[in-house]
A and B are shown apart, each in its own frame.
Chain A
Amino acid sequence: QKEVEQNSGPLSVPEGAIASLNCTYSDRGSQSFFWYRQYSGKSPELIMFIYSNGDKEDGRFTAQLNKASQYVSLLIRDSQPSDSATYLCAGAGKTSYDKVIFGPGTSLSVIP
């Protein structure tokens, strides 16, 4: 059974701090990884996607992928109260023939 695991949280960080969200996956064949942000009662919104080992930065967000350790993370710099949400990690194989597996999500709370 292919799985994506995340700590459910809640993860609490003070405003302005770096929030670090972690995700591990069981399928060594996974090559595509996605981070979605979901506010309560709303739809998932794509934050980042990453295909290669290493770091990928977009504004305040950095995704990190380590395929050898089967580990993906999302760093949020200068955290804002508006970043308070649930963050879903998802992994998939190389093409759309491979199902996207979503983790259960980590709840983040940024304290003003």
Chain B
Amino acid sequence: EAQVTQNPRYLITVTGKKLTVTCSQNMNHEYMSWYRQDPGLGLRQIYYSMNVEVTDKGDVPEGYKVSRKEKRNFPLILESPSPNQTSLYFCASSLFGRYSNQPQHFGDGTRLSIL
């Protein structure tokens, strides 16, 4: 089954304790992206990747890191989480569109609570 898998689905942790949210897709997609979704603010892009070893900042990259060592994986790292990073996070992937922007497929989401 074609899917984007995120782990963990839920996490409650404390300020300053490094955490990683994993994202893996099995569709051989080149493009991957991380979003956060907050009430009243909609989906905001954190980082994205066009392909292996190619990553770039989105709209709200502060406090986050990513890496793309393999095509299927795109982990999101919070080196020193703070309460303002409490949010619902989505990983998404798509084919790379050279002639038309391609629809993104979303993971089930990770609800992070930073105390």
Interface size class of A (residues with CB under 8 A): 20 to 34
| B72 interface hit (Cβ, 8 Å) | no
Decide: A43 and B97 in contact? CB cutoff 8 A: no
| A46 interface hit (Cβ, 8 Å) | yes
Query: Which residues of chain B have C-beta atoms less than 8 A from A31's C-beta?
Result: 100-101
Decide: B103 and A46 in contact? CB cutoff 8 A: yes
Complex CA distance for A104 and B48, rounded to whole angstroms: 20
How distant is B115 from chain A, measured CB to nearest CB, in Å? 20
| B71 interface hit (Cβ, 8 Å) | no
Q: Which of A18-26, A54-62, A74-82, A88-96 touches B?
A: A88-96
How distant is B34 from chain A, measured CB to nearest CB, in Å? 13
| B26 interface hit (Cβ, 8 Å) | no
How many residues of B are counted as interface, with CB atoms below 8 angstroms from the partner's CB atoms? Answer: 28
Knowing A43-B106, A43-B109, A44-B43 are in contact, say whether A95-B90 is a contact too (CB < 8 A): no
Query: Which residues of chain B have C-beta atoms less than 8 A from A34's C-beta?
Result: 103-104
Partner of B101, one of A46, A88, A96, A104: A96
Complex CA distance for A44 and B93, rounded to whole angstroms: 12
Chain A 45-65 against B: per-residue CB contact (8 Å), 1 yes, 0 no? 110010100000000000000
List chain B positions with a Cβ less than 8 A from chain A. 30-31, 40-43, 45, 48, 50, 58, 88, 90, 94-109
28 sample A-B contacts, Cβ–Cβ < 8 Å, listed by A number = A31-B101, A32-B100, A32-B101, A34-B104, A36-B106, A41-B88, A42-B108, A43-B106, A43-B109, A44-B43, A46-B103, A46-B104, A49-B103, A51-B100, A94-B97, A94-B99, A94-B100, A95-B97, A95-B100, A96-B30, A96-B95, A96-B96, A96-B98, A99-B48, A100-B45, A100-B104, A104-B41, A105-B42
List chain A positions with a Cβ less than 8 A from chain B. 31-32, 34, 36, 41-46, 49, 51, 88, 92-100, 102-105
